[in-house]
Amino acid sequence: MFKGFYTVASGMLAQQRRTEILTNNMANANTPGFKADQSTIRSFPDMMMSAIKSTNIPTEKGLGIKTANPIGALNTGVYLQETIADYTQGSLRASDLKTDVALVDGQLPVDEASGNKGAIYFRLEHPSGGEAYTRNGNFTLDGQGNLVNGQGLYVLSNTGQRIQLANDNISITETGAILDENGVQVATLGVSFAANPDILMKQDNGLFRMLDNGVLPSAYGQDGVVFATKQNFLESSNVDASRSMTELMTAYRAFEANQKVLQAYDRSMEKAANEIGKV
């Protein structure tokens, strides 16, 4: 009975975690550049059950042989194996701000080792040191004229320097060049390339960082990497709201079904303790 109790509990924990992931996706359905999380659920290794019996041999000393008769496999539950971000590009939507810019994926090579398609990101200066990366191009100017993102992190140029502008009357070409109101280039937007996006660690506010706080190489001049920057546009979230809602209801129903089984186990245990135990 207790084996089934723990099996049901593991199913409830897995569906609860899955519900949290889907809820977070739904909450960020309108967040520019947000990448939806996908989860994989895997079962624990099955346990082979056998019945051990003793067979008496009619000899003078009455020898006995232990035998194991296979009964079958017992599943020991499931667990949320991992969470993987979906790096596919979201749709582009027009913006009225000249400091808004979107990355447009062109030709991005596939990593031979992992089989994953590469990804490109804007470069940001992280407060704790090193760099952070994002697909959210909703930028603005701070009080000192530095180009920053929504959380106040400095946007870096292709040379790794902060981008300082006189005003927001700028033009950004498809190659990432930032031109002032006189048409003079003042900087180039920093864009980095990750051959295997799984090496990045997803953080809050749509940020990504290297697992070892390292720095990604520049996307400019990389073999086989073709991309463009588009001013007055933002990349929408790639969350499919209708699909996420359907999966959320499925996860909730699965949790509810496991809950009912758990309640049935609880009633059986109560009956065994209060009624059968008195006999």
**In this predicted structure, which of 8-17, 57-66, 209-218, 225-234 has the lowest mean pLDDT?**
57-66
- Which tens digit of pLDDT belongs to each residue from 188-203? 999 999 999 988 988 8
Instruction: Determine contact, residues 171/179, Cβ cutoff 8 Å.
Output: yes
Q: What is the share, in percent, of the chain residues with pLDDT greater than 70?
A: 94
pLDDT at 61 (0 to 100): 64
Task: Determine which helix (DSSP H) or strand (DSSP E) holds 266, and give its type and residue range.
Answer: helix 241-274
**In this predicted structure, which of 103-107, 151-155, 169-173, 263-267 has the lowest mean pLDDT?**
263-267
Q: What are the φ and ψ backbone dihedral angles of 50, each rounded to 5 degrees?
A: -135, 150
Of the candidates 229, 194, 256, the one whose C-alpha atom is nearest the C-alpha of residue 101 is 229
Residue for token pair 């070892």 = 212
Q: What are the φ and ψ backbone dihedral angles of 101, each rounded to 5 degrees?
A: -150, 145
3-class secondary-structure state, position 25: helix
Task: Determine which helix (DSSP H) or strand (DSSP E) holds 273, and give its type and residue range.
Answer: helix 241-274
Cβ partners under 8 Å of residue 271, min gap 6? none
The letter for the amino acid at 21 is I
For the entire predicted model, the pTM comes to 0.79
Task: Provide the residue ranges of all domains of the chain, joining segments of one domain with +.
Answer: 2-83+240-278, 92-235
Cβ partners under 8 Å of residue 104, min gap 6? 89, 92, 227, 228, 229, 230
In angstroms, rounded to a whole number, what is the distance separating the alpha carbons of residues 84 and 236?
19
